[in-house]
Amino acid sequence: MDQDDLVLMPITTFQRRISGSTNVSAIYVSAADGASTDVVKTLIEEKLRSRRRIEAGKEDDFNVRDMQEIVQAVTSATGTLTALLGAIAAVSLLVGGIGIMNIMLVSVTERTREIGIRIAIGALGREVMLQFLVESVALSLLGGMIGVAMGIAGAYGASRGLDLPFVVSPPTIALAFAVSAGIGVVFGYLPARKAARLEPIEALRHE
């Protein structure tokens, strides 16, 4: 409910001018500070059953809703949605990481002679590994930059369409880049390790 579209009037005026009856569809009750909402809910139910003359054992012909129940339902739905989005993100990261690993393996295969020459003239295995790890991280960070840009653009468009405030969270963006770099390191390690362990003589013979 938009509070800017709320009109307050005496209930008798509403019943006489608009509804044409004395029926009351809803009553909002505010509990005192520190009062238990469960106790208040029980007292309201007892009062309504008494006023409506509902006999013991019969079902209520009214509903009493506690805001805590609504909060719990919204929290549960939000948690389920968050878990679902997290699972989708995890699958996307896995697929992207495998793609990066395949690209780096192809790169190592295509540059076997280059790697052999570097090792032959004195490059250490860890230096070769670092080179390919840096390339893998750079590739994943580039993908992260594109993803962040698309996410910000999508959020901006959705906020304009739904008339919601548009807020950019720098910590979230930093976390996205950190995850992208981590994916590059994890999935780039195997190709980098393969490149670092190449025998220079065999690498130089590679066509």
Range of the domain at 176: 86-205
Asked, for residue 46, whether it belongs to a domain, the answer is yes
At residue 113 the predicted structure's pLDDT band, cuts being 50, 70 and 90, is confident
Query: Quick one: 201 and 126 in the same domain?
Result: yes
Contacts of residue 44, Cβ cutoff 8 Å, sequence gap at least 6: 29, 64
* Residue 169, in any domain of the structure: yes
- Check: CB of residue 31 under 8 Å from CB of residue 40: yes
100 and 45 in one domain?
no
Q: Summarize pLDDT for 115-128 with one digit per residue, the tens.
A: 888 888 887 888 88
Which pLDDT band, with edges at 50, 70 and 90, does 1 fall under? low
- Sign of torsion, CA 186 188 191 196? negative
**Predicted local confidence at residue 203, as pLDDT:** 66
Q: Which pLDDT score is estimated for 7?
A: 85
Query: pLDDT band at residue 84, thresholds of 50, 70 and 90?
Result: very high
Tens of pLDDT, residue by residue over 37-68, are 788 888 888 888 888 888 887 888 788 888 77
| Mean pLDDT, rounded, for 99-120 | 84
Burial label, 182 (beta-carbon count in 10 A; 0-12, 13-18, 19+):
middle
Q: What total of structural domains would you count in the chain? A: 2
Interval 168-179: pLDDT, tens: 888 888 888 888
**What's the full length of the chain, in residues?**
207
* Alpha-carbon span 27 to 181, nearest angstrom: 55
Q: Do 91 and 158 fall into the same domain?
A: yes
